[in-house]
Amino acid sequence: MPDSKVKTPLPPRGPGGGGGRGGPQRFMLGSKAKDVKGTGQRLWRYLHQEKKQLVAVFLLVIAASVLNLISPFLIGQAIDHYIVPRDFRGLARISAIMLVVYLLAAMLTWIQQYLVAGIAQDIVLRLRNELFAKIQTLPLQFFDRQPHGELMSRITNDIENINLFLSTGITQVFSGITMLVGTLVAMLWLSPLLTVFTLLVIPLVTIVLKNIATQTRNLFVNQQEKLGQLNSIIEETLTGQRAVKVFVREEKVLEQFAAANEQLKTVGIRAQILSGIIPPLMNMFNGLSFAIVAGAGGLLAVRGIITVGVIASFTNYARQFTRPINELANQFNLVQSALASAERVFEIMDQSPEEDTPLGLVPLKDVRGEVKFDHVTFGYQPDVPVLKNINLSVKPGEVIALVGPTGAGKTTFVNLLARFYDLSEGTIYIDGQDISTVQRDSLRSQLGIVLQDTHLFSETVRENIRYGKLTATDAEVEQAARLAQAEPFIVRLPAGYDTVLSEDGGNLSQGQRQLLSIARAILADPAILILDEATSSVDTRTELQIQKAMLNLMQGRTTFVIAHRLSTIQNADHILVINQGQIIEKGTHEELLRAKGFYWDLYMNQFRYQAS
């Protein structure tokens, strides 16, 4: 990893409904490759870990290159010493030697490709593991701002670009440089004068390639960004397919996809056209170099300065000299694409993790459940506070209900307790301990959270519940399901608890998914329970059953309940009415109704709506 990390700043995000999250703002982690040298050095660190295999590959490249360099010399020797004198026995002997040389060079080339394939896969394996591990350390606000399709593109497409370069480009670069140096030495040995004529085209090649380099690199970076945007549209559309169908927006998403696809096509065409110029240009330069060598060599041969065999050997060396240049030019585009992809991967790796930075943080143990908010202020944007000067003291085992209009800051209240976000001002205490001084993992392990948006994994029902406590036995899992009133529908599934769910539990109803989420929280056996609209997706009858189970679960636990259905929180010890980021009313259900304030208005409006 680099000594100094470039941390890409995240743009601010404002509050929104149901939890203070803003609209679908997106950001791109870098619009073009800005540090080719630095990115190359970081990739080299991964290659350096495979130094033993690389040394073996390098030795094989040298051996194969030497054999390839011998071949043109043998051709010249055959012409001068066996073909011109008509020594057919000697010609057969040198032809056999040439055959062995070619076969041995081919075998060594295959071995080096075999080794390079292993090196490439090992590096890509580490890159994927490190990138995925890094993602697990990033804070939630990163994922709030990063389109999932774009993130997936970096994990898959960008790393595959790196893999393509490592598996094919390493040997090409090694062999190209070796052949270039070896051929130049052989040419100088045969004829320094012809070598000078051959090198006349090199400055022209260098100037042309340098001019093309910058343009192709930017185009390949742009191509990867457009591909990430297209993947983001695909991921969002597939995830939200139900909404697309409900609102009959198939034409709309088709238009969005077609527009993004068209942009990708346009950039791709430009990149391929520009990169496709290089091979014909190199062929032109090769032809020009060959013509110069052939003309000059013919004049020297006529004057008796060199032999026909030397000309034959030299022309083959001249072709070998331009071939590695051609191969390096062809690899140039692959290198540019790989560096652009590597930079996009490293930008994710350089994001600031959600970590316990101060030394001396202690674990949170034996939690009784006393919670205190002391002058807490927080905003997703520094100048737009979502919660303002919140003061609250909760005794162990109390049930606290949070009510208020959408966007008032109820979910933000809970997010701060779990340290998904850090405070702007003030302090939150659990059992008298500042939560900023405790380890995040130990804090969250004491919390059981049931969110409004349930997420299930493509595993069995049993394993989805066990996610709350990985060491739980089957009996404990089933007991948690019974407490959450989930067992009646589970046993009706094709394989019961062993039924495999589709992605995000798509083969269950929304209410059933919510019940499994509640069972998961029950199994975790937390000291502090947080229910964020936990019963919003179930019918009234099921809700009553869950409420009975929850009453048993809440015994001895501090519980925060966010609810829009006011009928579900009438037994709470304290009800906090939050509006515009402030606690404007506090009391029991009966006390707040007698006060006939904001809560009374909410209750009566809801009662009249339900009655109608």
Percent of the chain with pLDDT strictly greater than 70: 85
- Residue 11 — pLDDT band, cuts 50, 70, 90? very low
Virtual torsion, Cα 444, 445, 447, 452, nearest 10 deg: 70
Q: Look at the chain and count its residues.
A: 612
pLDDT: which is higher, 375 or 50: 375
- Residue 242 — pLDDT band, cuts 50, 70, 90? low
What's the rounded Cα separation, in Å, for the pair 28 and 191? Answer: 55
What confidence score (pLDDT) does residue 191 get?
A: 79
What confidence score (pLDDT) does residue 19 get?
A: 40
What confidence score (pLDDT) does residue 2 get?
A: 38
Residues 272 and 401 in one domain: no
Point out the domain boundary residue: 348, 370, 398: 348
| Domain presence at residue 381 | yes
Classify each residue of 483-512 as buried b or exposed e, where b means 16 or more C-beta atoms within 10 Å of its C-beta: bbbbbebbeebeeebebebeeebeebeebb
pLDDT: which is higher, 598 or 536: 598
What confidence score (pLDDT) does residue 393 get?
A: 92
What confidence score (pLDDT) does residue 612 get?
A: 45
What confidence score (pLDDT) does residue 4 get?
A: 37
For every residue of 440-471, DSSP letters joined together read HHHHHHTEEEE-SS----SSBHHHHHHTT-TT
Spell out the residues 6+ positions from residue 118 whose beta carbon is closer than 8 angstroms to its own.
Answer: 53
Q: What is the average per-residue pLDDT within 466-493?
A: 89
pLDDT, mean over the chain: 79
Residues 321 and 372 in one domain: no
Point out the domain boundary residue: 348, 379, 396: 348
| Domain presence at residue 548 | no
Residues 231 and 375 in one domain: no
Residue 43 has pLDDT above 70, yes or no: yes
Mind listing the pLDDT tens digit for each residue in 146-159? 777 778 878 888 88
What one-character DSSP code corresponds to residue 378?
E
Residues 297 and 428 in one domain: no
What confidence score (pLDDT) does residue 501 get?
A: 86
Treating both helix axes as pointing N-terminal to C-terminal, what angle do 36-48 and 88-137 enclose, rounded to 10 degrees? 100
What's the rounded Cα separation, in Å, for the pair 282 and 419? Answer: 59
Domain CATH code at residue 306:
1.20.1560.10
pLDDT: which is higher, 564 or 51: 51
DSSP reduced 3-state for 370: coil
| Domain presence at residue 144 | yes
Label residue 245 exposed, middle or buried (CB < 10 Å: 0-12, 13-18, 19+): exposed
Instruction: Locate all alpha helices (DSSP H) within 2-87, ordered by sequence.
Output: 36-48, 51-78
Structure tokens, 582: 């402030």
What's the rounded Cα separation, in Å, for the pair 29 and 8? Answer: 7
Structure tokens, 124: 């890509």
What's the rounded Cα separation, in Å, for the pair 455 and 143? Answer: 15
Residues 426 and 328 in one domain: no
Domain count, the chain: 2
Spell out the residues 6+ positions from residue 494 whose beta carbon is closer than 8 angstroms to its own.
Answer: none
pLDDT-wise least confident of 21-35, 82-96, 381-395, 431-445: 21-35
Note the Cα 90 to chain centre separation in Å: 63
- Residue indicated by tokens 């050997």: 313
Task: Report which secondary-structure segment, H or E, holds 340.
Answer: helix 308-349
Residue 254 has pLDDT above 50, yes or no: yes
| Domain presence at residue 566 | yes
Structure tokens, 94: 């040198």
What's the rounded Cα separation, in Å, for the pair 169 and 173? Answer: 6
Contact 184, 194 (CB under 8 A): no
Residues 394 and 334 in one domain: no
What one-character DSSP code corresponds to residue 372?
E
Contact 386, 19 (CB under 8 A): no
Residue 65's domain comprises: 41-348
Structure tokens, 115: 């080794």
Residues 171 and 191 in one domain: yes
Q: Taken in order 577, 578, 579, 584, is the CA torsion positive or negative?
A: positive
What confidence score (pLDDT) does residue 534 get?
A: 63
Residues 334 and 188 in one domain: yes
pLDDT: which is higher, 6 or 408: 408
Q: Of 315, 304, 10, nearest to 140 (Cα)?
A: 10
What's the rounded Cα separation, in Å, for the pair 586 and 589? Answer: 9
CA distance readout (Å), 122 to 47, 48, 347: 10, 12, 21
Q: What is the average per-residue pLDDT within 406-411?
A: 81
What confidence score (pLDDT) does residue 151 get?
A: 82
Mind listing the pLDDT tens digit for each residue in 569-609? 888 889 999 988 888 999 998 999 999 889 888 888 876 55
What confidence score (pLDDT) does residue 322 get?
A: 67
Virtual torsion, Cα 336, 341, 347, 353, nearest 10 deg: -150
| Domain presence at residue 520 | no
What confidence score (pLDDT) does residue 491 get?
A: 92
Q: Of 28, 12, 13, 6, nearest to 150 (Cα)?
A: 28
What's the rounded Cα separation, in Å, for the pair 300 and 292? Answer: 12
Q: Do strands 447-450 and 399-403 pair parallel, antiparallel, or not at all (unpaired)?
A: unpaired
Q: Of 461, 458, 430, nearest to 445 (Cα)?
A: 430
Q: What is the average per-residue pLDDT within 220-237?
A: 79
Point out the domain boundary residue: 315, 348, 381: 348
Contact 149, 233 (CB under 8 A): yes
Q: What is the average per-residue pLDDT within 525-545?
A: 73
Domain CATH code at residue 593:
3.40.50.300
- What one-letter code names the amino acid at 207? I
Residue 549 has pLDDT above 70, yes or no: no
What's the rounded Cα separation, in Å, for the pair 47 and 166? Answer: 9
Mind listing the pLDDT tens digit for each residue in 118-151? 888 898 899 989 888 888 888 877 877 777 777 8
Residues 343 and 317 in one domain: yes
Contact 493, 461 (CB under 8 A): yes
Mind listing the pLDDT tens digit for each residue in 412-441? 888 888 888 888 889 999 988 888 888 888
Residue 462 has pLDDT above 90, yes or no: yes
What one-character DSSP code corresponds to residue 438?
B
Structure tokens, 241: 């397919």
What confidence score (pLDDT) does residue 107 get?
A: 92
pTM, 2 dp:
0.66
Residue 21 has pLDDT above 70, yes or no: no
Q: Taken in order 246, 248, 249, 255, is the CA torsion positive or negative?
A: positive
What's the rounded Cα separation, in Å, for the pair 392 and 576? Answer: 10
- Residue 372 — pLDDT band, cuts 50, 70, 90? very high
Residues 255 and 401 in one domain: no
Q: Do strands 558-562 and 528-532 pair parallel, antiparallel, or not at all (unpaired)?
A: parallel
Structure tokens, 439: 């380890």
Q: What is the average per-residue pLDDT within 273-296?
A: 74
Task: Report which secondary-structure segment, H or E, holds 254.
Answer: helix 250-276
Structure tokens, 380: 């997703």
Spell out the residues 6+ positions from residue 55 whose beta carbon is closer than 8 angstroms to its own.
Answer: none
Partners of 118 in beta bridges: none
| Domain presence at residue 92 | yes
Cβ count near 82 (within 10 Å)? 19
What confidence score (pLDDT) does residue 360 get?
A: 55
pLDDT-wise least confident of 34-38, 208-212, 608-612: 608-612
Residues 319 and 405 in one domain: no
| Domain presence at residue 469 | no
| Domain presence at residue 482 | no
- Residue 5 — pLDDT band, cuts 50, 70, 90? very low
Residues 297 and 373 in one domain: no
CA distance readout (Å), 572 to 289, 428, 569, 584: 89, 22, 5, 17
Partners of 582 in beta bridges: 579
pLDDT: which is higher, 343 or 307: 343
Q: Do strands 387-394 and 371-378 pair parallel, antiparallel, or not at all (unpaired)?
A: antiparallel
Mind listing the pLDDT tens digit for each residue in 71-91? 888 877 777 777 777 778 877
Residue 324 has pLDDT above 90, yes or no: no
